Amino acid sequence: MQPHLIIGNIFSFLSAVFIALSVIKKNKKDLIWYQVIDVIFCILSNIALCTYAALTTNSVALIRNILAYKSRLTRKITWILFVLCIVFGLLANNRGFIGLFPVIASSSYTVFMFTTKDEQQMRWALVSNLMLWFVHDIYVQAYPSAATDVLLSIWTIVQIFRNRKRFL
């Protein structure tokens, strides 16, 4: 295995650990904090794996998550980040069609971060986000993240149905 793949997969694994921790959090603020750390490791993995659309969208996501964590994500900032995510993601795309998946995942999640305060809706947004990243992660050989994407999607869906009774 090539050194950049090993390094990319180490960071991918660390990212996977933090995204896994985020889905078990009961409130949105804790969920977002663990996703801040997750995105930092994603960025490092993207650098090692030379996947630049993912790198730029994750960089925008890091800013978004930090602002969301600090409750400073306004409507105007959300739309600016949404546009930056799409523009920079498209400009940096070096993976063709697959390179669009991180752009779609991150830009749609940006909208959900601002438009909902409901943990259940955030979980559904996370599932759709994870599935898009799964396709990308398989393609760029970020296998720990790809495996975690599937496991966390299943886990998150279980949590959605487990918590459903609480909200009815």
Q: What is the pLDDT of residues 80-112, one digit of tens each?
A: 999 999 999 999 999 999 999 999 998 888 788
**23, 153 contact by CB (below 8 A):** no
Q: What is the pLDDT of residues 40-76, one digit of tens each?
A: 999 999 999 999 999 999 999 999 899 989 999 888 9
For the whole model, what pTM was predicted?
0.84
How many Å apart are CA 45 and CA 7, to the nearest integer? 7
Burial class (CB in 10 A: 0-12, 13-18, 19+), 70: exposed
**157, 127 contact by CB (below 8 A):** yes
How many Å apart are CA 26 and CA 141, to the nearest integer? 31
**Residue spans per domain, the chain:** 3-167
